Amino acid sequence: MLKELNINNLAIIEEADISFGKNFNVFTGETGAGKSILINGINSVLGQRVTKDIVRTGCDKATVTALFTELSDDVCSSLDELGISHDERQIILSREINADGGSTARINGKMSSVSILREIGTRLVSIHGQHDNQILLSTERHIDILDEFGGLESTVEDYRASFHELQAVSRKLRRLSTEHKERQQKAESLREAIREIGDAELTENEDTAVEEDLNAAQNSEDILIALHNAHECLNAEENAAVELVRNARSELEGISSVTSRYDELCQRLENAVIELTDIADELDSLADSIDADPQRLHYLTARFDLIESLKRKYGAELSDVIAYYDKAKSELDAAEDITEELKQLSEKRSELLHTVSIKAKELSALRSQTAERFSEAVEGELSFLNMPDVRLGAQITQGNLTEKGMDTVEFLIAANKGEAMKPLSKIASGGELSRIMLALKNVIADEAETLIFDEIDTGVSGKAAQKIAVKLKSVSRNRQVLCVTHLPQLASAADTHLLIEKQSDSERTYTHVYPLDLEGRKHEIARIMVGENITPTALKNAEEMLTENS
């Protein structure tokens, strides 16, 4: 339970140390005294969203600290899972909100994340605020309320997991189908490219070799003449270079007996004769290799044109054409592979759709069974809360599969005998909504050890208010209840009564929270009943209410 709450510099609350009782606690005070600020403070320490505007003007930060004691076994187990200590079944949660934005969370004085704070907070406290009545007006939330009442959360989660898997497979199937269609449209051009490039049987750097051979074939006559003339210059019968060099060597050999100084030159001329003779022989050989065959020229011309055509289509370089060929084959293979994958995905989708449909029908059947028990349970609570003639039902309509199944749930209500059932969101008054929400809180299992009701009595008075007080008193026997109220019936039923009072001096406004003794409670309850002009009669009535509820 929430044992103590310490607040510093939160809006108009400069400092407040509040101790709570184990059972039924109420807060009262004039409008604007700061009751909503108190609830916001509790929300903040439970990890809920806060803004920097909540920090008291002129202060650097606001701090809220809460001590929870007598933790249940379930809460202790949850804390163990999170690695959080709970000596003597106690835990301290705190939150600092900075004036410049941001906040810091602590558990037992150690830094923690806000998300962990929130996770723990949901197990410790359940807050019903004035805005929660809007849940009843939001038809899309009705299915969640029905599932929570029936304890169907695990069944819904199991269905949702299968539904999400179906969605994932369906998305992939749609994506692959689109991709397959695009690939099929491209497949013909891929096949044409593969055929065209494949038939060419290209080899690496072939374009360079073919171009050289073609140039040679196109200029074969000129090449032959040049080779022949070069050969004649080197090795003709008269005045040929080889013969002239040989003669020069002979001249030098003639004087070698006289002096040896020309021997080196003689040897060099001998080498030149050998080299020139070799060149002449190679020129002769090259001339013999020149093929002036017109068919060869035609082949080379056609081959060159083919290679250039392929390069214009598929890449600037021959290597690009070959790479395009390899890529086209891979894409075509992938297109064939995707066909098989599409088949497998389609089969899997059909299986999942069958599974999800069965689970949706089973869930729908459970909801139908739950709806009957739900109506009986809520009507029983409402009867006690002075709404004996109210009939409340859950209308379940089947439709398309969604994340929550195939059902749409809407609560219907007939407020009086003989009236037709109509949508709750259209006809329920504020007071009826408050009591219906209280009834729901009572029939739906809530794991939180502390329940907080922020003005659950909105739109309620008289006998209905007394019934709500009795119900909250009854609930507080098993769990701690905190209630912000404007009704004397609820205030008088409390075990612990806290007054929220706003005071002002010449410079600032302050809110204080006081525990009231018996005399203080009499005056506060009398004030709630008649206003500031408290009469002896009002005090006597207040005393009688306290006596009746003691």
DSSP string, 306-353: HHHHHHHHH-SSHHHHHHHHHHHHHHHHHHHHHHHHHHHHHHHHHHHH
Residue 165 is predicted with a pLDDT of: 95
Q: What tokens were used for 530?
A: 């008649």
Q: Are residues 311 and 444 in the same domain?
A: no
Angle between helices 294-314 and 206-218 (to 10 degrees): 140
Q: Are residues 534 and 508 in the same domain?
A: no
Digit-coded pLDDT (tens) for 95-151: 999 988 888 999 998 998 889 998 888 888 888 766 666 677 788 889 998 998 999
Q: Are residues 317 and 199 in the same domain?
A: yes
Residue 131 is predicted with a pLDDT of: 62
Q: Where in 78-120 does DSSP place strands (E)? A: 91-98, 103-107, 110-112
The CATH number assigned to the domain holding 482 equals 3.40.50.300
For residue 336, name the pLDDT band (cuts at 50, 70, 90). low
Boundary-marking domain end, from 293, 319, 337: 337
- Cβ atoms within 10 A of the Cβ of 157, count? 9
Digit-coded pLDDT (tens) for 182-195: 777 777 788 788 88
Asked if residue 416 belongs to a domain, the reply is no
Residue 121 is predicted with a pLDDT of: 87
Q: Are residues 495 and 537 in the same domain?
A: no
Higher pLDDT pick, 542 / 427: 542
For residue 517, name the pLDDT band (cuts at 50, 70, 90). very high
Q: Are residues 104 and 74 in the same domain?
A: yes
Digit-coded pLDDT (tens) for 136-150: 778 888 999 899 899
Asked if residue 373 belongs to a domain, the reply is no
Residue 507 is predicted with a pLDDT of: 73
Asked if residue 407 belongs to a domain, the reply is no
Boundary-marking domain end, from 287, 313, 337: 337
Q: Are residues 523 and 503 in the same domain?
A: no
**Number of compact structural domains in the chain:** 3
CA distances to 225, 237, 251, 253, 255 from 242, in Å? 20, 10, 14, 16, 21
What is the dihedral angle through the alpha carbons of 139, 145, 147, 151, rounded to the nearest 10 degrees?
180
Asked if residue 455 belongs to a domain, the reply is yes
Q: Are residues 472 and 542 in the same domain?
A: no
> Is residue 402 predicted with pLDDT exceeding 80?
yes
CA-closest candidate to residue 322, choices 438, 219, 198: 198
Asked if residue 317 belongs to a domain, the reply is yes
Q: Are residues 494 and 549 in the same domain?
A: no
The percent of residues in the chain predicted with pLDDT above 70, rounded, is 93
Asked if residue 348 belongs to a domain, the reply is no
> Is residue 366 predicted with pLDDT exceeding 90?
yes
The letter for the amino acid at 465 is A
Digit-coded pLDDT (tens) for 226-268: 777 777 787 776 667 877 888 888 878 878 777 778 788 888 8
Q: Which domain holds residue 293?
A: 179-337
Q: Are residues 124 and 66 in the same domain?
A: yes
The model's pTM = 0.64
The span from the CA of 510 to the CA of 411, in Å, is 44
Please give the average per-residue pLDDT across 506-518, as a whole number. Answer: 84
- Cβ atoms within 10 A of the Cβ of 424, count? 22
Please give the average per-residue pLDDT across 144-173, as a whole number. Answer: 93
| 50, 64 contact by CB (below 8 A) | no
Mean pLDDT over each residue of the chain, to the nearest integer: 85
The percent of residues in the chain predicted with pLDDT above 90, rounded, is 26
Q: Are residues 10 and 28 in the same domain?
A: yes
Q: Are residues 114 and 185 in the same domain?
A: no
Residue 445 is predicted with a pLDDT of: 60
Please give the average per-residue pLDDT across 62-82, as a whole number. Answer: 90
Higher pLDDT pick, 316 / 356: 356
Asked if residue 371 belongs to a domain, the reply is no
Boundary-marking domain end, from 303, 337, 371: 337
Q: Are residues 194 and 324 in the same domain?
A: yes
Residue 397 is predicted with a pLDDT of: 94
Asked if residue 230 belongs to a domain, the reply is yes
